[in-house]
């Protein structure tokens, strides 16, 4: 009888992009690793070392892309083809692209996230595609997409601090742990990808690490790990680790469901499925490893959120501000689960006005309703910071400052900014469309995230806000005061609300079915 142990194959693994756009990367490791090329050629068995290592880019050629404008996505081929034909009739080149597919775990098909995209135009110059995007913004919420024409190439150099070990490769490098306790720490990882100012921190990872040349010809790194290893790093970063255990369990199930539902429809041009940033979910490796989080992930192993037999893309936000938002009002990509926004209230006693009206939204934002995410006076970690900074917030910008931001973000010179008018609000009071009034031009901005980004240096905390224009003695606008509610897009589970619900005795399942109505949890591995 063959008693040889077979290697464990996790039912779900994920390839996670850890960093991109680095001229050099410095790291150190503990334990033993195999140093290989990315194609698997063994370069050295590396014993434990206290030395720092460095990866440098010697020379490289960036990726060449074809650019087009994504105008809409559909769950059926027929809808996508009909819209593509409408663009063709207008003399615009349009194509349908199929992404996603059946979702399989342990040989079992548990869902399907196939989407059909309609992409207009086909440009080798990005600026040409942006001109088309600007023309389509009034009728759609388009975004630029790119497809690889020729892949990047380059040579990387890797060496240790003593210069005794030195390797070069056009393929990139892979460090494979030989022992379960082996860990690799990358020094100076940028924490907030996409922002003008990015603080850095040292981040420690378990599992295999690859270094390679990214699309810009710079250095990038990725890892491939079992989903529950990934989730330990996600939950510990995305939610305060000293929140009640049932809130952490709810977070683990929501994060697991979101990964499984979306990992094959993101980063289609990349060698990884998910990034380690807020675009997907923030993953910090084992940097903030915590036994309570590990237990929450382990106890919920294989538990996934379903709606009518379909895996739920279970988005969540930090603080909803008292009411969550409809999925369909927020995302351009059709969701698998089109959940409706609900009051963030476990008692059912909170009075909520019609937040889609200006009068209702104004009363709501200017008050502090006793919702679950209003943590004022609640004995929970970070309650003071969340309650004061995020449940209700205020920020002020000089008129000239905001004019410059709008010009930089949109390319539109509106002249003197007179006002920002609300056009349409979602169920939570979040603005989904505004009109910026200027002396030279008016500007319509659609979609929650675009509004937040185009009216701020980085991003406003949420789009659930009111605007007050302060004028000088001659009546000229001088400052704009934004008063808002909540932190984040407001879709799905409110983390602060989940914390208070857990502190009041609700379990993870009760929390989840409150924020994701008509859903249930099933164990699939």
The pLDDT of residue 56 is 97
The pLDDT of residue 507 is 98
7 pLDDT tier (thresholds 50, 70, 90)? very low
Q: What is the pLDDT of residues 150-191, one digit of tens each?
A: 999 999 999 999 988 999 999 999 999 999 999 999 999 998
Q: How far apart are CA 253 and CA 298, in angstroms?
A: 11
Q: What is the pLDDT of residues 479-524, one digit of tens each?
A: 999 999 999 999 999 999 999 999 999 999 999 999 999 999 999 9
The answer to whether the beta carbons of residues 378 and 390 sit under 8 Å apart is no
Percentage of the chain beyond pLDDT 90 is 82
Domains of the chain and any CATH numbers: 13-62+152-299 (no CATH), 64-150 (3.30.70.1070), 319-491 (no CATH)
Give strand ranges (E) for 106-142.
Answer: 108-112, 115-123
Q: What is the pLDDT of residues 104-125, one digit of tens each?
A: 888 889 888 899 999 999 999 9
What number is the average pLDDT over the span 81-100? 95
The pLDDT of residue 112 is 87
Residue 474: is it exposed, middle or buried by C-beta count within 10 angstroms (0-12/13-18/19+)?
Answer: exposed
Q: What is the pLDDT of residues 411-464, one digit of tens each?
A: 999 999 999 999 999 999 999 999 999 999 999 998 999 999 999 999 999 999
The pLDDT of residue 5 is 43
From first CA to last CA, the distance across the chain in angstroms is: 28
Q: How far apart are CA 201 and CA 208, in angstroms?
A: 20
41 pLDDT higher than 50: yes
Q: How far apart are CA 315 and CA 448, in angstroms?
A: 15
The pLDDT of residue 199 is 86
For residue 435, give both structure tokens: 């009109």
The answer to whether the beta carbons of residues 2 and 251 sit under 8 Å apart is no
Mean pLDDT of the chain: 93
User: Three-state SS for 198?
Assistant: coil
| Gyration radius (Cα) of the chain, Å | 24
What number is the average pLDDT over the span 27-39? 96
**How does strand 13-22 pair with strand 274-275?**
parallel
What number is the average pLDDT over the span 466-483? 96
More confident residue, 195 or 172: 172
Q: What is the pLDDT of residues 290-344, one digit of tens each?
A: 999 999 999 999 999 999 988 999 999 999 999 999 998 888 677 778 899 999 9
Q: How far apart are CA 502 and CA 140, in angstroms?
A: 40
What number is the average pLDDT over the span 212-229? 97
């Amino acid at each position: 009888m063959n008693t040889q142990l077979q290697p464990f194959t996790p039912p779900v693994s994920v390839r996670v992009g850890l960093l991109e756009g680095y001229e050099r990367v410095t790291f150190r490791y503990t334990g033993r690793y195999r140093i290989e090329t990315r194609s698997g050629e063994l370069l050295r068995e590396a014993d434990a070392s206290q030395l720092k290592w460095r990866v440098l880019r010697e020379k490289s050629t960036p990726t060449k892309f074809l650019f087009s404008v994504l105008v809409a996505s559909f769950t059926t081929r027929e809808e996508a083809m009909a819209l593509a034909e409408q663009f063709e009739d207008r003399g615009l080149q349009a194509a349908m692209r199929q992404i996603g597919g059946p979702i399989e775990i342990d040989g079992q098909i548990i869902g399907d996230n196939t989407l059909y995209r309609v992409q207009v135009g086909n440009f080798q110059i990005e600026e040409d595609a942006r001109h088309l995007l600007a023309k389509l913004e009034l009728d759609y919420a388009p975004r630029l997409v790119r497809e690889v024409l020729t892949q990047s190439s380059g040579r990387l150099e890797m060496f240790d601090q003593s210069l005794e070990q030195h390797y070069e490769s056009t393929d990139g490098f892979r460090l494979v742990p030989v022992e379960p306790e082996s860990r690799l720490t990358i020094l100076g990882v940028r924490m907030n990808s996409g922002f003008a100012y990015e603080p850095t921190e040292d981040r420690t990872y378990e599992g295999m690490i690859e270094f390679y040349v990214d699309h810009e010809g710079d250095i990038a790194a990725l890892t491939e790990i079992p989903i529950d290893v990934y989730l330990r790093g996600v939950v510990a970063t995305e939610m305060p680790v000293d929140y009640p255990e049932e809130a952490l369990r709810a977070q683990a199930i929501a994060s697991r469901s979101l990964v499984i539902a979306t990992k094959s429809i993101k980063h289609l041009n990349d060698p990884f499925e998910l990034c380690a940033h807020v675009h997907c979910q923030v993953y910090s490796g084992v940097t903030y490893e915590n036994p309570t989080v590990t237990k929450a992930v382990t106890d919920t192993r294989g538990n996934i959120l379903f709606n009518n037999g379909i895996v739920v893309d279970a988005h969540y936000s930090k603080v909803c501000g008292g009411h969550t938002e409809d999925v369909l009002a927020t995302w351009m990509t059709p969701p698998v689960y089109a959940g409706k926004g609900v009051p963030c209230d476990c008692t059912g006693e909170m009075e909520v006005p019609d937040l889609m009206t200006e009068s209702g939204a104004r009363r709501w934002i200017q008050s502090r309703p006793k919702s679950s995410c209003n943590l004022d006076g609640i004995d929970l970690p970070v309650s003071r910071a969340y309650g004061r900074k995020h449940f209700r917030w205020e920020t002020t910008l000089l008129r000239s400052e905001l004019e410059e931001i709008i010009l930089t973000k949109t390319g539109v010179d509106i002249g003197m900014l007179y006002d920002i008018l609300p056009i349409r609000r979602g169920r939570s009071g979040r603005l989904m469309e505004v009109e910026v009034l200027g002396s030279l031009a008016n500007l319509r901005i659609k979609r929650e995230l675009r509004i937040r980004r185009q009216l701020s240096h980085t991003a406003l905390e949420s789009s659930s806000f009111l605007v007050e224009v302060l004028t000088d003695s001659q009546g000229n606008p001088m400052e704009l005061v934004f008063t808002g509610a909540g932190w984040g897009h407001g879709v799905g589970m409110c983390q602060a609300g989940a914390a208070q619900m857990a502190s009041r005795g609700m379990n993870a399942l009760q929390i989840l079915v409150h924020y994701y109505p008509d859903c249930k949890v099933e164990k699939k591995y």
